[in-house]
Structure 1
């Protein structure tokens, strides 16, 4: 189990770091920055935040807190999606906190990494993983998904601001 614990710790470090940088980027934005899209075909930062939060809800929160999957994925990508800066910060913080909590749970019970948490649940909606996926595969998928979209958030923030100020503490 030593390698499993090392993997989980590594993922925890990465998610905590990603949370820090994403929050710092959003904190420097205005309401308009959060809701505007770089192009007519692009997602706004609000869309990306809604999508990350939706993915975390349907893939992790349903397992961790036994909350039914009520995600409406198409609404995450609606043009003109309104979201205040406070809502944006709360949604992204909640998403990262749920991921971190689940990883900490797995770290305390590494034998669950190869479990199939969706095996006896309704079919997953809007997911790259299926009901036979393992907890390990789920977290690897979430790692890729969240990293990809938080990178888009930071890039869109840089486009809007030109330059972001980072706190490295």
Structure 2
């Protein structure tokens, strides 16, 4: 058994599952549900979606596609952030697709797990990882962060709808 392959495969299963459940929750919401905050101090689903997309951009898209980091993290958490349901679904798909694509690249090249993909890039913005981090540490951080925020999205969706309908396949 190749531990690197198994680890990457486990992460792929996790992110594909998170994508599926998050999109199913979003599909059941209204425009108002997307932008509503449970409390004055809480983030809306729009904020959480924007934050997940921002993290995928600044931490993965920059290395996968050599795109400069243009993330505006402050905007992700603006109170009253406007976002349509379609935008939320599109941003969610984009974020997960970026993460999954990077994991598939790692799966094809498991030796990259110990690489330091940010070493020669400008300092990371708003990140729990630094420029010396490995691809492995980056993906572990992404598993934790994305799971945390998708849990918040699903919980907020349940608060708005009461009961959500899930499609199991």
Q: What TM-score, normalized to structure 2?
A: 0.99
Q: Which residue of 2 aligns with 1:80?
A: 80
The aligned runs of 1:30-109 (5 Å cut-off) are: 30-109=30-109
User: C-alpha displacement at 1:130, in angstroms?
Assistant: 0.1
Task: Flag as ranges the 4+ runs of structure 1 deviating above 4 A.
Answer: none
Measured in 2, the distance between the counterparts of 1:150 and 1:159 equals: 14
Measured in 2, the distance between the counterparts of 1:67 and 1:138 equals: 17
Q: Which residue of 2 aligns with 1:161?
A: 161
Measured in 2, the distance between the counterparts of 1:167 and 1:38 equals: 26
- The DSSP-based 3-state class of the residue aligned with 1:120 is coil
Gaps spanning 5+ residues in structure 2: where? none
Q: What is the CA deviation profile of residues 6-43 of structure 1, one whole-angstrom value per residue up to 9, with x for unaligned ones?
A: 00001000100000000000000000000000000000
User: C-alpha displacement at 1:138, in angstroms?
Assistant: 0.3
Q: What is the CA deviation profile of residues 91-146 of structure 1, one whole-angstrom value per residue up to 9, with x for unaligned ones?
A: 00100000000000000000000000000000000000000000000000001010
Measured in 2, the distance between the counterparts of 1:95 and 1:56 equals: 5
Gaps spanning 5+ residues in structure 1: where? none
Q: CA RMSD in A?
A: 0.7
Q: What TM-score, normalized to structure 1?
A: 0.99
Measured in 1, the distance between the counterparts of 2:78 and 2:112 equals: 36
Measured in 1, the distance between the counterparts of 2:6 and 2:72 equals: 35
1:24 aligns with 2:24: yes
Measured in 1, the distance between the counterparts of 2:106 and 2:13 equals: 14
